[in-house]
Amino acid sequence: TQLLEQSPQFLSIQEGENLTVYCNSSSVFSSLQWYRQEPGEGPVLLVTVVTGGEVKKLKRLTFQFGDARKDSSLHITAAQPGDTGLYLCAGARGGATNKLIFGTGTLLAVQP
């Protein structure tokens, strides 16, 4: 069974701090997506990384796909209260259905 482990599970930080969230697996993925889910809402796609070693930036968020395409990280610089939410990674298997495997999630709370 494929499993995407995210760490940490919970993170509570002060506004302005930096943080990194990790998404790890023993399996190779054709691509990896990161979603953010705010309370009372569904997940919203932030980014898709496809190439091993790829780095993508979205304002204060930096996403990296591992060289072996088994892991990924999300780094947030100078966190804001608006960054609060559940961060989910999802790995795609490729092939006809390109099935997505979701990670266990990291719940981030940024205190003002």
Position among 14, 42, 59, 112 found at the interface with another protein (CB under 8 A):
42
Residue of 69, 29, 100, 13 lying closest to 21 (CA atoms): 13
Residue type, 73: S
- Scanning the structure block, which residue is given the tokens 């610089």? 77
Query: Considering only residues 2-31, where is the footprint of another protein by CB under 8 A?
Result: 4
Which of residues 17 and 41 has its CB atom nearest to another protein in the complex?
A: 41
To 10 degrees, the CA torsion angle through 13, 22, 104, 44? 80
Give the Cα separation of 57 and 41 in Å (integer): 24
Closest distance to another protein from the beta carbon of 83 (Å): 19
Closest distance to another protein from the beta carbon of 109 (Å): 16
Position among 61, 88, 108, 110 found at the interface with another protein (CB under 8 A):
88
Name the site residues for another protein (rule: CB under 8 A). Answer: 4, 33, 35, 40-45, 48, 88, 90, 92, 96-105
